[in-house]
Structure 1
Amino acid sequence: MDLVRHLRYFTVVAEELHFGNAAIRLGMAQPPLSQRIKRLEEELGVRLFDRSARQVRLTEAGRLLLGEAREIVARVDRLRELARHGEGAVLKVGVPPDLAAAVIAALVAGFRESHPEVRLAPAEIWTADQVAALAGGTIDVGVVRHPVTAPGLYFGQTLVQPQGVLLAEGDELAQRAEVHLADLAGRELLMPPKEGEPGMHAEALAECRRRGYVPAQVHEGSGLGLVMAGAAVAFGPRQESPGLAWRPLIGSPLSYRISTAWRVASDTVADFSAAAVRTLKESAGMAEQSSAPVRRVSRRPGALA
């Protein structure tokens, strides 16, 4: 558990005394915030809030912890700021944990070419945690999957990434040139965690149901061991991996939407966003979305060129 991040969540809830308002302030959904507070309580072995239908109040343990939590969060923020000044310019970037390593490497290399003086520090975290990290200032810019709803968040150009199906190499469906979603009926499905990718998770499952595929069970994770073992299927971009077979889906029913996201604009963030678009097109097979439904801003204060 990232204790500092959970303490940051705790301080915001303690200040708002309302989980809904705290979630809006953190730029995340309320259920994941409640789960993180519960996990912190379990880790510390105390109850931090009294919850009722009408109000949320700090317990005595919560009141005692609040001052210490604020100091810890502030000290960590100061340490990070000192470290940044000591080692030169650093751009902290969030990327999905299931983004291919080669794509992450291309992102770093592509940005380094134009900004050798800036060190790129990528962190592999899911979209929901990126939104919270952007709100808390622990990352400067993220590569997120849509839909995302977060007040105060700005987005770069939206790209789409068509998804095919990943099967075990010996699966009978691997003998076909392409697969219909309904052909997967009765099979278990491996997806990124719902808590980490709530919007994409909901959209993908809704499209599966609409096209005749209701997974027998949905597993959550980023490793493909279950797929290689023939215990589940997964969706993903075109790829070649030992023990796996990738096949396109008939009608291209699934496409994930991806963009950069930030709260505090700067020329460095804007330049990274532009470099990310180029890299994701070239290295990850993504394409421009014809009409992006997300909020855009001009290059000043920091949108894509």
Structure 2
Amino acid sequence: MDLIKHVRYFVVVAEERHFGRAAARLGMAQPSLSQRIQRLEREFGIRLFDRTSRGADLTEGGRLLLAEARPLLAQADALAGAAARVRSGAAGLLRAAVPPELGSAVVAALVGGFRESTPGVRLELRELGAEAQLAELAAGTLDAGVLRHPVNVAGLDLGEVMCRPLGAVVPDDGGAADGPLALAALAGCDLVLFPRRSGPALHDEILATCRRHGFEPGTVIAGRDPAFVAGMVLSGTAVAFASRDREVPPGAVWRELAGAPLWERLSAAWLRSRRDDPAVGLFGAVVERALAEYGGMVPVAQTVVPNRSGAPVPRLGFTV
């Protein structure tokens, strides 16, 4: 028995004090309504109405239950409304993650943009590497994420893949060298790169691209903390790769790489089973806007030039 529905029938009969008028109000036949009230009386074990020639009068037990029935229906309606808001993406909780070094302006724009788009949905945002995000997406402890490519995207839906070229952070030579810097010119330097375990495919692609362009790092130093990376670069023995908007310390400079051999690619991602979740879709749209407006990124398709080798390929990551 659908208790809420039967209680709703009971309240309408109590308000109308007549089975015929209550049946008309509910859009059902009177015998069917009478059967439902009788079933409710059997369920509760009490008589709710005294049937008279004039209609239906509440019994003492019916009056006591009516006082409880109205708040119950109000709560049921509120629950249904909350469920509808969650289904529409207007309420709820979205658990999401972004990769390290995304940039403070992008993160702020993402959080603020999502809050403005869906004020009823609380965004629970964490910083996680690609492998950790993939594991939590699969485990169901994460609803959506922002991934750096290349990663294994099997079972995932992706938002627009956005990209921007990477440059080199090197010691400041006082402007002795101007113009784009060839990767081969870094030969003999150590390279500070994020730990491989946080993004094996991306890590390997970066090193493969360096080698193809004549840069074989003396040592690959695992490091992600900005202060550590800056210290290694300022020591004069190491370089790092970063986007143009990355803050560099005094004594270091950002240099464009000749031929743009290295590209950073990011996109929102979520399990395909969540593709119809409105909050997830809104998250993807907000990520795209934040990356474009505050990260200086463009859709990967805009960087593809016909018959040009070296066009960014989202699933292959860094290519030449």
Residue 102 in 1 paired to residue 105 in 2? yes
Identity %: 43
The answer for the alignment partner of 1:144 in structure 2 is: 147
Q: Deviations over 1:212-235 (max 9, x none)?
A: 000001112212232233342111
The answer for the alignment partner of 1:227 in structure 2 is: 233
1:104 deviation in Å? 0.8
1:90 deviation in Å? 2.1
1:254 deviation in Å? 0.5
The answer for the alignment partner of 2:208 in structure 1 is: 206
CA distance in 2 between partners of 1:229 and 1:177 (Å): 23
TM-score, normalisation: structure 1: 0.63
1:179 equivalent among 178, 181, 184:
181
CA distance in 2 between partners of 1:90 and 1:228 (Å): 43
The answer for the alignment partner of 1:279 in structure 2 is: 290
CA distance in 2 between partners of 1:160 and 1:248 (Å): 15
The answer for the alignment partner of 2:254 in structure 1 is: 246
CA distance in 1 between partners of 2:234 and 2:120 (Å): 42
3-state DSSP class of the match of 2:196? coil
CA distance in 2 between partners of 1:184 and 1:135 (Å): 40
CA contact (8 A) 2:183 2:257 kept: yes
CA distance in 2 between partners of 1:271 and 1:288 (Å): 18
CA contact (8 A) 1:141 1:260 kept: yes
Mark the CA change 1:129 to 1:164 in structure 2 (over 3 Å): closer, same or farther: same
CA contact (8 A) 1:200 1:256 kept: no
CA contact (8 A) 1:127 1:197 kept: yes
CA distance in 2 between partners of 1:189 and 1:113 (Å): 40
CA distance in 1 between partners of 2:191 and 2:198 (Å): 17
Q: Which amino acid aligns with 1:164?
A: G
CA distance in 2 between partners of 1:207 and 1:173 (Å): 26
CA distance in 2 between partners of 1:249 and 1:195 (Å): 26
Larger Rg: 2
1:172 deviation in Å? 6.6
3-state DSSP class of the match of 2:249? coil
Residue 161 in 1 paired to residue 169 in 2? no
1:241 deviation in Å? 3.0
CA distance in 2 between partners of 1:150 and 1:250 (Å): 30
CA distance in 1 between partners of 2:270 and 2:204 (Å): 23
3-state DSSP class of the match of 1:133? helix
CA contact (8 A) 2:150 2:314 kept: no
The answer for the alignment partner of 1:41 in structure 2 is: none
Aligned-residue Cα RMSD (Å) equals 2.1
Q: Deviations over 1:131-165 (max 9, x none)?
A: 00111122111110112224312211111121000
Residue 130 in 1 paired to residue 133 in 2? yes
Moved over 6 A (4+): none
3-state DSSP class of the match of 1:166? strand
* Structure-to-structure mapping, 1:263-274, within 5 angstroms: 263=271, 264-265=274-275, 266-274=277-285
251-260 vs 232-241, which moves further: 232-241
Q: Deviations over 1:184-216 (max 9, x none)?
A: 000010112111111211111111100000000
CA contact (8 A) 1:171 1:230 kept: no
CA distance in 2 between partners of 1:123 and 1:231 (Å): 33
1:117 deviation in Å? 1.5
Structure 1: gaps spanning 5 or more residues: 1-87, 295-305
CA contact (8 A) 2:169 2:248 kept: no
Mark the CA change 1:213 to 1:111 in structure 2 (over 3 Å): closer, same or farther: same
Q: Which amino acid aligns with 1:166?
A: V
CA contact (8 A) 2:183 2:258 kept: yes
Q: Deviations over 1:9-49 (max 9, x none)?
A: xxxxxxxxxxxxxxxxxxxxxxxxxxxxxxxxxxxxxxxxx
CA contact (8 A) 2:300 2:314 kept: no
Structure 2: gaps spanning 5 or more residues: 1-90, 305-312, 316-320
